[in-house]
Amino acid sequence: MHGLGELEAAVMDVLWQERPLKVREVLDRLETGKKLAYTTVMTVLDNLHRKGWVTRELEGKAYRYEPALSRAEAAARTVRAVLASSGDPEAVLMHFALSATEQESDLLRQGLRKRKRLAAS
């Protein structure tokens, strides 16, 4: 995910698969190819909480963490950030539209129709 470090993205992948989880449970499910310390994962989760990527609720003496937004919402946030930083969002959208597959085009049309219906209600 754009805006996330490699370990942060791996932690989010774990949380999107199964939630809510305590630090130890996230650590046990992480597959980074490296041995990580409990405190490292705790720090990553604290950072993700500070950045608004996860919420947490105290259970006994430990927090349970879960994503603040779905994977799809996070991806949409990333697309929005890329568009905002591009310097020419209209050109980027036009290039995407011209290169979109038929299925992607259909999905975009469906989304725009749904947006129009929601705005009208």
Q: DSSP assignment of 21-35, as one string?
A: B-HHHHHHH--SSS-
Query: What is the average pLDDT across 103-107?
Result: 95
Residue 90 is predicted with a pLDDT of: 94
- Following CA atoms 74, 59, 26, 46 in sequence, which dihedral angle do they give, to the nearest 10 degrees? 60
Other CB atoms within 10 Å distance of the CB of residue 53: 23
2 pLDDT above the threshold of 70: no
Phi and psi, residue 67, nearest 5° = -60, 140
Query: What is the average pLDDT across 92-116?
Result: 94
Query: What is the average pLDDT across 50-57?
Result: 95
As given in the structure block, the two tokens for residue 91 are 């050109």
Q: 55-66: per-residue pLDDT in tens?
A: 999 999 999 999
- Following CA atoms 14, 18, 23, 27 in sequence, which dihedral angle do they give, to the nearest 10 degrees? -40
Residue 4 is predicted with a pLDDT of: 87
Judge whether 11 and 30 are in contact, CB under 8 Å.
yes
In 3D, which of 1, 56, 50 has the Cα closest to residue 23? 56
Handedness of CA 103, 109, 113, 115 (dihedral sign): positive
Q: 73-91: per-residue pLDDT in tens?
A: 999 988 998 999 999 999 9
